[in-house]
Homo-oligomer: A and B are copies of this chain.
Amino acid sequence: MAPRAIRIRAAQVQSACASCSLQELCLPAGLNEDDLGRFDSLINRSRQVKRGDYLYRIAGPLQSLYAVRSGFLKSSMLVDDRRKQVAGFHMMGDLLGVGAIGTGKHQCDAAALEDSDVCEIPFQGLEDLSRDVPALQRQFNRLMSREIVRDHGVMLLLGMCAEERLAVFLVNLSQRYSACGDSGTQLNLRMTRDEIGSYLGLKFETISRELSRMQKKGLIRVKGKNIEIEDPKRLRELFGEHTNR
């Protein structure tokens, strides 16, 4: 696409962040030109992660935070040093690694579900620069806070039945895809039913069944990993219809 090429050209002459389409969502949001340049020289741009490779591993030392530029990743945790559970799915604009700040060690594995491109932000450098650039600090705080709120959203799944959980998942994914410029109705799932199940606290057979049920209801159309949302409104109304709990 032409616009993309132009942006990349611009990046080379001045600031890579200034040219990045993630700018408004990402850490340097609200920085002036000068500070943006300083932030830019801090980061190692564009680390490639091949599908199946790890960006970082549990217990590994926190070196950098990572902003996803393109691709799709999952993070996962160990429940009792045995079972693995998916903790989240990440795409363009997401910031990874913040869970490691408290202890200095990563609490999750982060693996690419498709070839991905991330922006590596050395954490020490970020902390140092934040000191001089209040706007950067504020944006960092905001992003951390948003992560907390997002996690609270996952908590709400505990009070929901399978159908509701899956509806929440699909609606959320749809919104995030839209925000990235992808289609919000033609969802190209990058994860398996098993990974969805792990994330939602359900078995993969249940995911499969619920998808079929939603299709029968005319809410979605399932073609393997491709899911078309046919009735977004009714899908959204799905959570909230049960008065349980």
Contacts and interface: CB of A to CB of B under 8 A. Distances in A.
Interface string A180-195: 0000000000000000
Interface residues of A, number: 51
Nearest to A146: B102
B131 A77 contact: no
A56 to B, nearest CB: 15
Contacts of A79: 156, 159-160, 239-240, 245
Contacts of A149: 99, 102-103, 107
What is the total number of copies of this protein in its complex? 2
A145 interface: yes
Nearest to A138: B127
Interface stretch (A21-29, A196-204, A208-216, A218-226): A196-204
Contacts of A146: 102-103
Contact of A137 (B99, B102, B130): B130
Given A101-B142, A101-B145, A138-B127, A154 B156 contact: no
A99 B144 CA distance: 9
A82 interface: yes
B239 A80 contact: yes
Contacts of A156: 77, 79, 85
B157 A101 contact: no
A244 B87 CA distance: 17
Given A130-B137, A138-B127, A198 B155 contact: no
A145 B144 CA distance: 7
Contacts of A130: 137
A214 B223 CA distance: 46
15 contacts: A77-B152, A77-B155, A79-B159, A79-B160, A83-B244, A98-B145, A98-B148, A99-B152, A100-B145, A101-B141, A102-B143, A102-B145, A103-B149, A144-B145, A158-B158
